[in-house]
Amino acid sequence: MGKVTGISHLVRSNILDLVPYSSARDEYSGSASVFLDANENPHNSPLNRYPDPQQTELKNTIAELKGQQVKNLFLGNGSDEGIDLLFRVLCDPGLDNIITVDPTYGMYGVCARINDVERKSVLLRADFLLDADSVINAVDDRTKIIFICSPNNPTSNSLDSEPILRIAEEVDCMVVVDEAYIDFSSRESLLSLLSDHANLVVLQTLSKAWGLAGIRLGMVFAQEELIGYLSRVKYPYNINSLTLEAASESLKNQGLHENWVNQILDEREKMIVQLNSLVFIQKIYPSDANFLLVKMDNPPEVHNFLMERGIIVRDRSSVPLCEGCLRITVGTQAENLKLFEALEVYGQTDNV
Ligand SMILES: *Cc1c(COP(=O)(O)O)cnc(C)c1O
């Protein structure tokens, strides 16, 4: 349905009819000086005031940074809020289904269970690439969302845009592309293609490349119509004042952000060389993100060995297609060195 406009037939009827809560701040947004409309405490400025429910200022900054329009942007309490709201807007509990392309990020499946929505799982190919036909074949007339993560967590590779766009053009449901790791990627974001595809949605976040996981700020980019439904359903003040402030401050410093990303990418390449020198490492999958998926002998034992030395990595060895693998985040130079030294010690013990 690439060129079709209008997605209202995919939206739950109770949401189409919803009249959202209208807050005091929604009803007045001019520049008055005496605010006696919201039962706020007059003391403790500025945190005594409710934040802007529309996040106009921050949205302007982000839209400009991303080359998008404000009307195509929704801000959530992390991407996780965006994911959950997509379920609540699109999926009738107990009736509709969604598709995930596995192995992938666990939140899609958790949100599906919370919302009582069936999840159909389609596997990536053994080389972790996307097979458009197997996704398209899994769609039925109750499928509302297909989640595609690129670069994908935990496989660390990017998926080609060609099969993603072919899926978007051939199916009548929303195709959500989660770009949490896009700033580490050598590939282009799909953001520039949004205006050609009514059913395409792109998720991004400040949690990874911007170093702001603690403030919880996720972005949903989509056609204005879907953004409108998400905005109706969200909590009125879903982005708090401290988050708005911290995000605005950080986004001013594009240079620092780029510097961090470059450092992480340099460290990633060093880590690959180091890990490849260890005999129990079987394979490091090509990464387009800030983590490595590493196949090795006896991953649970390595995981425990590291944990006993205070180094935590993610054991993905029981995940289909990730058998034998740990997922290792790229840290600072000092952290990565500690990891490597511990793994060297492990390699010299009788374990191997
Ligand atoms: C880390 C991650 C996110 C980020 O979620 P936030 O709620 O924005 O912190 C989103 N998607 C994927 C695939 C991730 O790995």
The structure tokens listed for 253 are 């410093």
In angstroms, what is the span from residue 292 Cα to ligand 1's centroid?
16
In angstroms, what is the span from residue 9 Cα to ligand 1's centroid?
28
Residue 138: partners with Cβ closer than 8 Å, 6 or more residues away? 99, 120, 122
In angstroms, what is the span from residue 89 Cα to ligand 1's centroid?
20
- Distance CA(270)–CA(299), nearest Å, equals 21
- Distance CA(82)–CA(99), nearest Å, equals 17
Q: Using alpha carbons, select from 184, 123, 185, 137 the residue that is nearest to residue 160.
A: 185
Question: Do residues 249 and 215 touch, judged by C-beta distance below 8 A?
Answer: no
Bridge partner list, 99: 120, 146
Q: How far is CA 27 from the centre of its chain?
A: 32
The residue nearest atom 14 of ligand 1, judged by CA position, is 180
- The three-point CA angle 269-319-116 to 5° equals 120
CA dihedral 134, 160, 269, 331 (to 10 degrees): -70
The structure tokens listed for 165 are 């766009």
- Distance CA(143)–CA(135), nearest Å, equals 11
In angstroms, what is the span from residue 179 Cα to ligand 1's centroid?
9
Using a 6 Å cutoff on CB, does residue 279 contact ligand 1? Answer: no
In angstroms, what is the span from residue 199 Cα to ligand 1's centroid?
21
In tens digits, the chain (352 residues) has pLDDT values of 544 468 999 999 999 988 878 887 777 767 888 889 889 999 999 999 999 999 999 999 999 999 999 999 999 999 999 999 999 999 999 999 999 999 999 999 999 999 999 999 999 999 999 999 999 999 999 999 999 999 999 999 999 999 999 999 999 999 999 999 999 999 999 999 999 999 999 999 999 999 999 999 999 999 999 999 999 999 999 999 999 999 999 999 999 999 999 999 999 999 999 999 999 999 999 999 999 999 999 999 999 999 999 999 999 999 999 999 999 999 999 999 999 999 999 999 866 5
The structure tokens listed for 28 are 């007045």
pLDDT in tens, 63-110: 999 999 999 999 999 999 999 999 999 999 999 999 999 999 999 999
- Distance CA(291)–CA(314), nearest Å, equals 10
The structure tokens listed for 193 are 């293609």
Pocket test for ligand 1, best of 83, 111, 207 (most atoms within 8 A of CB): 207
Using a 6 Å cutoff on CB, does residue 180 contact ligand 1? Answer: yes
Question: Do residues 327 and 292 touch, judged by C-beta distance below 8 A?
Answer: yes
Question: SS3 sequence, 284-315?
Answer: ECCCCCCEEEEEECCHHHHHHHHHHCCCCCEE
Q: What is the pLDDT of residue 5?
A: 64
Using a 6 Å cutoff on CB, does residue 153 contact ligand 1? Answer: yes
In angstroms, what is the span from residue 34 Cα to ligand 1's centroid?
40
Using a 6 Å cutoff on CB, does residue 185 contact ligand 1? Answer: no
Q: What is the pLDDT of residue 298?
A: 96
pTM here? Answer: 0.96
CA dihedral 159, 227, 206, 263 (to 10 degrees): 40
In angstroms, what is the span from residue 75 Cα to ligand 1's centroid?
14
Pocket test for ligand 1, best of 208, 210, 220, 287 (most atoms within 8 A of CB): 208
